A = this chain, B = another copy of it.
Amino acid sequence: MLENKNTSKTSISELGEFGLIDHLTKNFKIKQKTTIKGIGDDAAVLSVNSEEQIVVTTDLLVEGVHFDLGYMPIKHLGYKAVVVNLSDVYAMNAKATQITVSIAVSNRFSVEALEELYSGIAMAAKYYKIDVIGGDTTSSTTGLFISITAIGLVKEKDIVYRDGAKENDLLVVTGDLGAAYLGLQVLEREKRVFQVNPNSQPDLDAYTYLIERQLKPEARRDISELLSNLNVKPTSMIDISDGLSSEIIHICKSSNVGCNLYEDKIPLDPQVISTCEEFKLDSTTIALSGGEDYELLFTIDNKDFSKIKTNPNFTVIGHITNKKEGIHLITRANTKIPLKARGWKALIEDS
């Protein structure tokens, strides 16, 4: 673990709770004009003009459940914890503006390890142009817990919910799918190899994209502006955190519609295809259930197809049907299979 690499380590108790919060957050600068007061009072204060609505989302990440510091550098963890939350803000077609960050840590973590964690958080805050406006730091009996709440702004007319998909809309996805899950498989394999032979020198060149998608994912903050420039407003949108199937089912259930998803349209990176072959995994299953892609899935009116069809960021993967027709995958062999929600945990248990 990264936190053990520090030559001199400071225990958290040396700083105390107040000292620790001050120490970790002292470099956070306020940049958003809507942030009136950041860290340092009973609450942060924001000022929003009445044209804009506020979106609020929260995620809790638990060591041993959502991440493993055995292969996840703690700085990357800080970065990813922010990205995961921002992805939900972007899925509302909103602009992310502020976050709060609370952590609970056991005494196994040094102050230097937490500095690394916060430097990852600060890096994400800088890249995504958001303010860190508050949080809480406390001890835990075991492990690391990170709770982040993200806030964003969006004009009422621009907001996109999950429930607006309608019959004949096209189903569109950004980027490509399945890479983050495969990155995790590669990292877990290397961890097992390392446990057997600590002198092994892994050659990870064939997996660089997969590993980056797992360890340093990015959220699609570009999509809102891109769609706006193309004069397209999605009818529904969701981010892909639990796998494509699960998210399609969320949109269909919320919108009270059915869907046909075409297997041959699902966008896959060449590294996903080659690594699936190597691991003897079915690439469609990985794309459907792998999760952690943090791409956006949305539906558009089919009259908007011409506006997006040549844009390399977007792939049309299916269309919305009447609810009675159900939610199906149309395979390459042209058979129709009901789509099921299987998160990545289920995938691990099965495999």
List residues of chain A with CB under 8 Å of any chain B CB. 17-18, 36-37, 40-50, 53-66, 88-89, 91-92, 94, 98, 100, 102-104, 133-136, 138-143, 145, 147, 149-152, 156, 159, 161-163, 237-239, 254, 341, 343
Contacts and interface: CB of A to CB of B under 8 A. Distances in A.
24 contacts: A18-B341, A36-B53, A37-B161, A41-B161, A41-B163, A42-B89, A43-B88, A43-B152, A44-B56, A45-B92, A46-B54, A56-B100, A56-B134, A57-B134, A58-B102, A58-B147, A59-B102, A60-B138, A60-B145, A62-B139, A62-B140, A62-B145, A102-B147, A142-B142
6 cross-chain pairs, A with B, having the tightest CB-CB distances, nearest first: A147-B147, A43-B57, A50-B50, A42-B91, A43-B55, A60-B102
B92 A60 contact: no
Contacts of A136: 58-60, 147
A40 B134 contact: no
Of A41, A54, A59, the most chain B CB neighbours within 10 A belong to: A41
A239 B48 contact: no
Given A140-B65, A141-B64, A45 B41 contact: no
A65 B104 CA distance: 10
A350 to B, nearest CB: 15
Contacts of A133: 56
Given A43-B94, A66-B138, A147-B147, A54 B48 contact: yes
Nearest to A58: B100
Nearest to A149: B149
A325 B274 CA distance: 73
Contacts of A143: 140-142
Nearest to A163: B41
Nearest to A139: B65
A142 to B, nearest CB: 6
A102 B103 CA distance: 13
Nearest to A156: B47
